[in-house]
Amino acid sequence: MSDTPRLQIQLVPPLAWGRNVRAVVAGDTWEALRWHLGAAQYRPQFLSIDLPDRPYRADLKCAYCKTEQKALDLHELWHYDDKSRVQRLIGLKAICSKCHLSTHLGYANATGRTKEALANLAAVNGWTARQVREHYDQTFVDWENRASTQYALDVSYLSRFNIGPNKVHMDWLDKPRSWVGSRIDAIMWAKKLLDSDAIIVDTETTGLLDKSNVEVIELAAITMQGKPVYQATFRPRYKIPGRVIKIHGITNEAVKSAPSFAQEAEAVSTVLHGKTLVTYNAKFDRDVIGRTFKLYKLEGVSARWECAMQTYRTFARSGPYLKLPYGSHRAMADCKATLRLIRKMARTTA
């Protein structure tokens, strides 16, 4: 195992929990990194950063134990400068879930999986039980020494992946990402959003994401108080198909004199960039907005996306897709329908 990188335990000081790459970059940026660095098989439909293509691989290999799997975790490697109190990103590795558990013993302890994590650590590193225990003890000593102080976050390492300052949002550290696993979580998610500066967004398009030339032809945005902050229709490059017109009713004649998306791109960026954006189907709206910027060879927006459909599905204890209640397939009306749904969840007591 001499050619195998050694697994290192990484304990994050309590005040540094959540201070990681995923907390300060958009979800599509993180997914692009996962694919580029070999943690995901498939290239994202919309690649939000300029990265070289890589060959498709049916099986992905863990950087530590060399196990081949269909999907891997992307592990962040950090260096802690204890003198200047800086937490600096020094690498990203595609690793399996077992090795990932072994690098985060704090999580392993909290979930009752310490023995499993240490056993894998010994197996991968070829260590004796004594070596594992010594490394484990020293790691916790280091952790105790760092536990009472906040560390500044340095993610300048990301620049090698063409991730510039406009795609890194340090202010998001004070806005932890939502996680919805139960009906109560969904209710709390809705309550928190209503008291935030998040923006609700909706789009109408020339089709679905299975078409390479799909683009946004209508976009609207409102605050959590229901105040409109943007609304526009755009003239697309190509004709809107008749089957799509039947869905949203936006005809080619109706957008004939409208500005192109490129002409409105600066205004759209001003409204969306760096914000928390709530849509009913976050993956679709995120990807179609990104693809439209790219279609016109423009710099896209970097934002935190929250999916109201995913949350509502948990709230309603339903299947994978739920039609937007009160929706009408027009951007402003659907923004208001999404807000109505969030308010409904927030008012629920159990």
Backbone phi, then psi, for 312, in 5-degree steps? -65, -35
Question: Is the per-residue pLDDT at 1 higher than 50?
Answer: no
Q: Where in the chain is the domain with CATH 3.30.420.10?
A: 178-347
For residue 93, give the H/E element and its range: strand 86-95
Q: Which residue has the higher pLDDT, 284 or 147?
A: 284
Helices (H), 219-281: 242-248, 261-272
What is the pLDDT, as a whole number, of residue 7? Answer: 78
pLDDT digits (tens, 9 = 90+) for 42-56: 888 788 888 888 877
Q: Which two tokens stand for residue 197?
A: 């500066």
pLDDT digits (tens, 9 = 90+) for 112-129: 999 999 999 999 999 999
Tell me what percent of the residues of the chain surpass a pLDDT of 90.
67
Question: Is the per-residue pLDDT at 144 higher than 50?
Answer: yes
| Pick among 3.30.420.10, 3.40.190.10, 3.40.50.300, 3.40.720.10: CATH of 178-347 | 3.30.420.10
C-beta of residue 314 within 8 angstroms of C-beta of residue 183 = yes
At 2, the pLDDT band (50, 70, 90 cuts) reads very low
Question: Is the per-residue pLDDT at 14 higher than 60?
Answer: no
Residues 6+ apart with CB under 8 A from 246: none
For 162-166, 211-215, 257-261, 271-275, which range has the lowest pLDDT when averaged over its residues?
211-215
Residues in the chain: 350
What is the pLDDT, as a whole number, of residue 321? Answer: 76
Q: Could you give the dihedral angle defined by the CA atoms of residues 189, 190, 195 and 197, in that order, rounded to the nearest 10 degrees? A: 80
Among 104, 96, 92, 99, which residue's Cα sits nearest to residue 16? 104
Strand partners, 348: none
